[in-house]
Amino acid sequence: MIEVLTMATNNEIEFKQILTKDLYDKIFNTYFKNEKPFSQTNYYIDTKGFKLRDHRSALRIRVKDNSYEMTLKVPAEVGLMEYNHPTNVKLKMNDTLSNSKLPDDIRNINEGQFNVSEDELIILGDLTTLRVETHYQNELLVLDKSEYLNKVDYELEFEVDSYNEGYEKFKQLLQEFDIKHEKPLNKVQRFFEEKQNASNK
């Protein structure tokens, strides 16, 4: 059962960089040593044929501090548009999620743009992130260690209000650690890639 409470939309602009364990430790010790990490788990939802992924979109339920939030991310002119809904849904691996139980805006996008039929959505798995946050030049700087499908990766995220100004700040930060910027796949893309690789073995 899903209970929809309040909804928020958000235009997300962020820059990301995959890190080695050594770089993760260096950045942590430089900027995050006095910050307290917290854990959150994303449950990723798509069809077996990855209809949402093929539209560069993602549906997840995030669990943090015993609160549950459903988010649909779709491409925007700059960054991503997020549709966020607090929810009390609690699903397990391979559970189905009916369109009729989705919030109206998410259901309309799934059916109208992605052609998802009533019982196509399933829980494909989860990714747990140990996250720590701080501020860098008045923007949100995030350091993540994520575990999923027997894999661990490390990532730096920089969430900004302005693309151009934020990109200059991000380049300055990377230069401090002699990092060449390479735009990574996002978490859900990395999860699905690993999932597909595992199923092809």
CATH class of the domain comprising 8-200 = mainly beta
pTM: 0.84
**Alpha-carbon gap, residue 90 to 130, rounded angstroms:** 21
**Alpha-carbon gap, residue 61 to 43, rounded angstroms:** 5
Name the H helices within 12-103.
21-27, 51-54
**Alpha-carbon gap, residue 91 to 94, rounded angstroms:** 9
Single-letter code of the amino acid located at 185: L
The string of pLDDT tens digits covering residues 21-60 is 999 999 999 999 999 999 999 999 999 999 999 999 999 9
Q: Which helix (H) or strand (E) holds 201?
A: none
State the burial class of residue 158 (Cβ atoms within 10 Å of its Cβ: 0-12, 13-18, 19+): buried
The string of pLDDT tens digits covering residues 121-167 is 999 999 999 999 999 999 999 999 999 999 999 999 999 999 999 99
How many Cα atoms are found within 13 Å in the side-chain-facing hemisphere of 111? 14
Residue 59 contacts residue 72 (beta carbons within 8 Å):
yes
**Alpha-carbon gap, residue 200 to 5, rounded angstroms:** 39
The string of pLDDT tens digits covering residues 67-111 is 999 999 999 888 789 999 998 777 788 899 999 889 999 999 999
Q: What confidence tier does 7 reach under pLDDT thresholds 50, 70, 90?
A: low
Nearest to 42 by CA among 188, 150, 154: 188
Q: Dihedral sign for Cα 80, 74, 19, 180, please.
A: negative
